[in-house]
Amino acid sequence: MGRSRPTFNSDEAYLQNYSSLHYPKGNEVAIIVNSGICDAVRASIYQYVVDLARDGYFGLIYTVDGASPSGLKII
């Protein structure tokens, strides 16, 4: 299982890392993507993380290989 975030543009670089100042809602959003489709949807997922950040949520992308619903609970 991998974990990643996109690189933010220079004018939004302050959103790159978690800070309670920039993420006052204190919420982390796990975005779980099957590794088999990750490359095909990467641009859309990265844009989603940027959109979440702009709304005050810290998104982390997790790539998984064939995890079952019960296996996803440990993430």
| Distance, CA of 50 to CA of 55 (rounded, Å) | 9
**pTM greater than 0.85 (yes/no):** no
Residue whose structure tokens are 């940027």? 50
Greater pLDDT, 66 or 14: 14
Quick: pLDDT tens for 9-63: 999 999 999 988 888 877 889 999 988 888 999 999 999 999 999 999 999 999 8
The reported pLDDT for the residue numbered 67 is: 66
More confident residue, 47 or 66: 47
The full set of domain ranges for the chain reads 1-8+24-66
Edge-to-edge, what's the strand order for the sheet holding 2-4? 2-4, 58-64, 28-34
